[in-house]
Amino acid sequence: MPYWQTFYHIVWATRNRAALVTPDVEAMIYGFIRGKAIGLGGTVFALNGMPEHIHLVTSIPPSIAVSTFIGQVKGVTATKFNRSGVRELPLFWQEEYGVFTFDHKSLPNLVVYVENQKKHHANQNVIPVLERLTDQGVNLVRESAAPYTSSDEQWWQDMLAMQ
């Protein structure tokens, strides 16, 4: 089996940003999301959101395309929820989504950010690039080139610290 370390922060919304992921059905919807993600070979590090959008911090195996993973998670979740008969109002997702890659060192920060989604939104303290608050795209995050060279000790230590 190949070794891989891929980390993604995925955000998607309900159709028309309808407030459908309400407290009475949130656990069920999150259970469907978590179950499908794990069933596809993913690892779920954090899952949370607001009534109109979801945040998922996950690893996706390289054997499945990111778009396929997201499409299957969204599709299965909506289908299972709508067939459950829990409520008459169906759950539909927007076709669009946001997906961000990040490194292992950022994982704890993103997990905490997602776990505290409701608090961040209540305090209006969100990270705009990680939230699709409008239908307009977001600016790309561009980092300067890493200053590492093959003889850089910090790079070497960072790589050794990855577990």
**Whole-prediction pTM:** 0.81
Query: How many domains does the chain fold into?
Result: 1
What's the CATH number where 129 sits?
3.30.70.1290
Strand order in the sheet with 98-101: 43-50, 53-59, 8-13, 98-101
151 band by pLDDT with thresholds 50, 70 and 90: low
**Residue 145 belongs to a domain:** no
In whole angstroms, give the CA distance from residue 154 to residue 156. 5
Q: What are the C-alpha distances in Å from 142 to residues 38, 126, 159? A: 31, 19, 22
Residue 36 lies in a domain: yes
Per the domain annotation, does 143 fall within a domain?
no
- Average of pLDDT values for 1-26? 92
Assess whether pLDDT exceeds 80 at residue 155. no
- Cβ atoms of 63 and 41 within 8 Å: the answer is yes
For residue 55, what are the domain limits? 8-138+151-161
Residue 94: phi, psi to the nearest 5? -65, 155
Cβ 33 vs Cβ 56: under 8 Å: yes
Q: How far apart are CA 130 and CA 105, in angstroms?
A: 17
The residue among 2, 57, 8 whose CA lies nearest residue 33 is: 57
Residue 90 lies in a domain: yes
Is residue 93 a part of any domain in this protein? yes
- Averaged over 148-154, what is the pLDDT? 63
125 pLDDT exceeds 90?
no
Buried b (16+ CB within 10 A) or exposed e, 112-125: ebbbebeebeeeee
Taking the CA atoms of residue 17, residue 18, residue 22 and residue 26 in that order, the dihedral angle to the nearest 10 degrees is -50
Q: Minimal CA–CA distance to 96: which of 136, 60, 128, 127?
A: 136
Digit-coded pLDDT (tens) for 50-82: 999 999 999 999 999 999 999 999 999 999 999
